[in-house]
């Protein structure tokens, strides 16, 4: 059983590339079967590239709306192929107040 914990998003290590600024909670292995991330996007910026995976995904949008256009040109089960045009891994950046506004 995992103990409860509190994480301050302003003090966290964020990463930023063409897919937005992201804080990945699962980097410390507390949630081995669940991926929990905070992502801040600019209008029209994709967050992810949809590709075939064996697990279910869900998104909670706090502000704004989801738009189509985040699909891969050719269906693939390989995330490395789906994300080939983006800077990976995303470089670490200091927290920016615009991430949570």
Taking only the tens of pLDDT, the chain with its 101 residues reads 556 677 888 988 899 999 999 998 766 666 677 778 899 998 888 888 876 667 777 788 888 887 776 777 888 888 888 888 899 889 999 999 998 87
CA R_g for the chain: 14
- Alpha-carbon gap, residue 49 to 69, rounded angstroms: 9
Q: Three-class SS of residue 50?
A: strand
State pTM to two decimals.
0.74
First to last CA, the chain: 34
Q: Three-class SS of residue 82?
A: helix
DSSP letter at 71 equals: B
């Amino acid at each position: 059983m995992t103990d409860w914990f509190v994480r301050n998003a302003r003090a966290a290590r964020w990463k930023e590339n063409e897919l937005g600024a992201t804080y990945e909670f699962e980097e410390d292995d507390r949630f081995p079967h669940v991926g929990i991330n905070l992502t801040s996007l600019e209008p029209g910026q994709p967050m992810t590239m949809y590709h075939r995976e064996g697990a279910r995904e869900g998104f909670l949008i706090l502000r704004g709306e989801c738009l189509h256009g985040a699909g891969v040109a050719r269906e693939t089960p390989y995330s490395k192929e789906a994300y080939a045009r983006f800077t990976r891994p995303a470089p670490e950046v200091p927290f920016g107040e615009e991430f949570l506004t």
